[in-house]
Chains A and B, each alone.
Chain A
Amino acid sequence: EVQLLESGGGLVQPGGSLRLSCVASGFTFSSFEVNWVRQAPGKGLEWVSSISNSGSTIYYADSVKGRFTISRDNVKNSLYLQMNSLRAEDTAVYYCARRGSWYYFDFWGQGTLVTVSS
């Protein structure tokens, strides 16, 4: 059974940093691109970042470029999101999601809540 389990969310002050993790199981992690997608309270889905199966190709949404860094460890079956210079507008539930062949997300984690507030 494919599972994605996020962790690392919490309350952080504006300007602070946080590192999210997502542990995958039930599939060959090193064969799939994985993504971060977030959802602000009461709002819609927003794509954040993607990383290819090897880690060689990375994309970011303009809203997080230069502040967030995506990475992965295929030995540990883990995906990470280092978030720096956090802003109130980064407050959201952050989901990790596995990408299928022609750009769709076939499995999602349960999400981890990040709250940026003083």
Chain B
Amino acid sequence: QSVLTQPPSVSAAPGQKVTISCSGSGSNIGNNYVSWYQQLPGTAPKLLIYENNKRPSGIPDRFSGSKSGTSATLGITGLQTGDEADYYCGTWDNSLSGGVFGGGTKLTVL
């Protein structure tokens, strides 16, 4: 059971938009920045969003992040088949004194 809660899967058609939610608590998301990672099959995770809504160099603006209270959301517009991957949210938990991740969401582009 992960500390952060994500839907196990989401799907949408190419060109469409999808959102992935990440729910936590005051000890983690409520008081810390959230980051998002993309993991393509058989590869290491890759940073997509940091500090709630910032994109590292090279990440297209089709990817966006937001946070409100104890929840965060990853948005992906203009879906491409190459976006099919597992997506994870992550942050620090002040009560656990450790990092925490969501259970991951598998994105299928139909």
In the complex, the answer to whether B88 meets A44 with C-beta atoms within 8 Å is yes
Q: Kindly count the residue-residue contacts between A and B in the assembled complex, taking CB atoms under 8 Å apart.
A: 69
In the complex, the answer to whether B44 meets A45 with C-beta atoms within 8 Å is no
Option from B47, B51, B90 in Cβ contact (under 8 Å) with A45? B90
Asked whether A103 and B91 contact (CB < 8 A) given A45-B37, A95-B44, the answer is yes
Give per-residue flags for B40-54: 1 if the beta carbon is below 8 A from chain A beta carbons, else 0. 000011110011000
- What chain A residues lie within 8 Å of B50 (beta carbons)? 100, 102, 104, 106
Interface size on A, residues (CB 8 A): 25
- The smallest C-beta distance from A20 to any residue of chain B, in angstroms, reads 15
By beta carbon, the residue of chain A nearest B104 is A44
Say yes or no for B33: interface residue by CB 8 A criterion: yes
Give per-residue flags for A38-58: 1 if the beta carbon is below 8 A from chain B beta carbons, else 0. 000000111100100000000
